[in-house]
Amino acid sequence: MTPQIDDRRPRPALRPFTAPSDTPPLPQDPSPSPDTEDYDDLGHAPNGHSTPGQLTDSVSGGDSPRHRTYDDVRTPSLDDAPSGHSRRRSVLVNLERAPKKGGYILTADDPEIRRLLRRGIERENSSKDSAKSRRGFRDLVFTRQFSTFDRQNQRSYDSPFRGFFTLFWLAMALLLIRIAARNWRTYGTVFGANEIWKMMFERDVAVLLATDGVMVAVTVFGLLLQKLILKGYLRWERSGYLIEHIWQMAFLGITLYWTVYREWPWTHTIFLVLHTMVFLMKQHSYAFYNGYLSQIYRRKQLLEEKLRELKDKVPAGNPDSPVTTSFEKAAQSELRQRRRSASKGGSTNLLQEKSAISSIAAAIASGEALDAEQLEAFTGVIEDEIESLQTELRGKATTDSSAYPNNLTLANFADWTVLPTLVYELEYPRQDKINWWYVAEKTTATFGVIWVMMVISQAYIYPPVAETVRMKEAGMPLRERAREFPWVVSDMMFPMLLEQLLAWYVIWECALNVLAELSCFADRGFYGDWWNSVSWDQYARDWNRPVHVFLLRHVYHSSISSLHLSKGAATFVTFLLSALVHELVMLCLFKKVRGYLFILQLSQVPLVSLSRTRLLKGRALLGNVIFWIGLFVGPSLLTSLYLIV
């Protein structure tokens, strides 16, 4: 065995090595801070989703019986025979300079030093694997925080740029006054022709609200399915997984068909389609997290049964004469890598998995005699595994009532339904009480901003849209309509950008904060400073944090674990799914497939790669300018394409 040691101090070619009685483990790399956000270190599960908080190593060396491995109590093999001394004062080793600068190669033709180094390296690797598995979904941390533009956010409120925020809303007020004056002059009323208002409220408002209520109510199907899985009628990794996917497809398809059947205007359609997407993601996260925990729970039950069998066994043989069993023939690496099974989504087939648990289960099933030390070691291994599984079932819950399976209640599901997040956890940070003045403030802001959006749409967006529709209905050829294309784009460029900013503000700053306050949800980090983005991947992460976290957990890492894709391929799959969903929304709005938004969405992938080249890397100002040009031109360009072509 020739491990490389990086040491820049000169060493002699041959020297005695004195082994102390208590040799410390080999030096380990410092573990990264738990606050570090390193998504690529998340564990993966083969059942198509990332496993929350991968299980950690629970059996290690030590004097405690529950921490003794089988290797500590097994019958000694020839390779491990002592050298004839009860204690060695020194061991002869050889140090040779390695090709790598500052490195040395240590060699020793001695079984004891080989065993010492082997066990030290295995202990170090086991610690690294444990640290990595512990981080799992722990990177997706929910913390107490306010949104950036919230007046309670002291850091933003004291920002030197706070005046620009005031200026923006002052400009909006002056714009509304100008529009009202023009409407009074033209139509004799400050509301003008008011086509947008009539479109929104003249037809099917009650039907729309009833449809939305039914859509939310039927999501309780996910709770019923998890109840059946818990009681053993279904298995998540078999029929449960398939049933959930079929249900989600039916849920989406029926809702979208209903919008087409009712021939709703775009205002009704966009509301219901986006709300459907939200609850589709919520159902997916709820089902896959609890489905994973159901596997962990079943594995824990199986191990508890094996533990009872072990405790019922009567030790055989003399303690001074270890009993030889067929279990000793199992590979030693299985025992030291016993936690590998835990990273496979909570395997429930103990005899077929490759782990020490499998070997112990086989030894119990064989009925062979085990001596007292072996029973003690096996019991310790299983007890540690059960303890780790129990920790996984508890997750982030601070009380037993929130841990699995106690979380599978109607009250918990109703609470999850109204929370402004798309990633299910057993528990979230909460505040103590509701500030009703804050609720009134944000609710007023929500309806106020919606009214501003309606006025801007009526004054600046509806006229060019109506003109393009008139051109089509008049039978104007595509070539003639194309001549009007640049003018339509320029007419809608400023109002479309303004509508996009206001739509973002009313959802992520106003509406979500209302839901958060009503549900006492303390993590208000719904967005980051996306306006400072220097690349499109930064914008994708920051402008909509709830969706970003959902895609990270349930698409990006799931494609790596289930499809065994590389990180680059998983990134492309994530962008592809996002592009397909956006194009589906365009299909519902315009009732035709053109693919313009789909193409522009996928074009972000090469643009992200371009932002990491020498041309743009490190040039934050240039990257931010390119980002704002895209955001400025994109909405009006896309709308014009769907309307004219």
| pLDDT tens-digit series, residues 468-521 | 989 988 888 888 888 989 999 999 999 999 999 999 999 999 999 999 999 999
Residue 33 pLDDT: 39
Residue 539, CA distances (Å) to 39, 422, 443, 599 in order:
17, 19, 27, 18
Q: How many CB atoms lie within 10 A of CB 475?
A: 6
* pLDDT category of residue 617 using cuts at 50, 70 and 90: confident
Helix axes 462-473, 478-504, angle to 10 degrees: 150
Please list the alpha-helical segments (H only) found in 313-425.
Answer: 332-336, 356-366, 372-394, 410-418
Between CA 142 and CA 41, with CA 236 as vertex, the angle to 5 degrees is 40
- By the 8 A CB rule, do 136 and 392 touch? no
* pLDDT category of residue 400 using cuts at 50, 70 and 90: confident
Q: What is the pLDDT of residues 87-133, one digit of tens each?
A: 556 667 777 777 766 677 777 667 776 777 766 666 666 555 544 44
Residue 4 pLDDT: 43
- In whole angstroms, give the CA distance from residue 590 to residue 601: 18
* pLDDT category of residue 618 using cuts at 50, 70 and 90: confident
Pick the closest to residue 642 from 536, 489, 540 (CA basis): 489
- By the 8 A CB rule, do 426 and 395 touch? yes
- In whole angstroms, give the CA distance from residue 586 to residue 199: 19
Pick the closest to residue 215 from 287, 285, 277 (CA basis): 277
Residue 155, CA distances (Å) to 143, 163, 530, 544 in order:
16, 14, 17, 21
- In whole angstroms, give the CA distance from residue 178 to residue 185: 11
* pLDDT category of residue 351 using cuts at 50, 70 and 90: low
Report the phi/psi class of residue 317: left, alpha or beta, with left for phi > 0 and alpha for psi in -120 to 50.
Answer: left
Residue 598 pLDDT: 92
Phi, psi at 48, each rounded to 5°: 95, 10
Residue keyed to tokens 């009681």 = 231
* pLDDT category of residue 452 using cuts at 50, 70 and 90: very high
Q: What share of the chain is helix, strand, coil (3-state, %, to 5)?
A: 65, 5, 35
| Active-site annotation, residues | 582
Residue 489 pLDDT: 92
- By the 8 A CB rule, do 512 and 420 touch? yes
Pick the closest to residue 353 from 133, 240, 345 (CA basis): 345
Tell me the three state secondary structure of residue 262.
Answer: coil
Side-chain-side CA neighbours of residue 166 (13 Å)? 9
Residue 350 pLDDT: 72
Three-state SS across 286-324? HHHHHHHHHHHHHHHHHHHHHHHHHHHCCCCCCCCCCCC
The residue ranges of every structural domain in the chain are 37-72+204-428
- In whole angstroms, give the CA distance from residue 138 to residue 160: 34
Tell me the three state secondary structure of residue 521.
Answer: strand
How confident is the model over 294-305, as a mean pLDDT?
Answer: 89
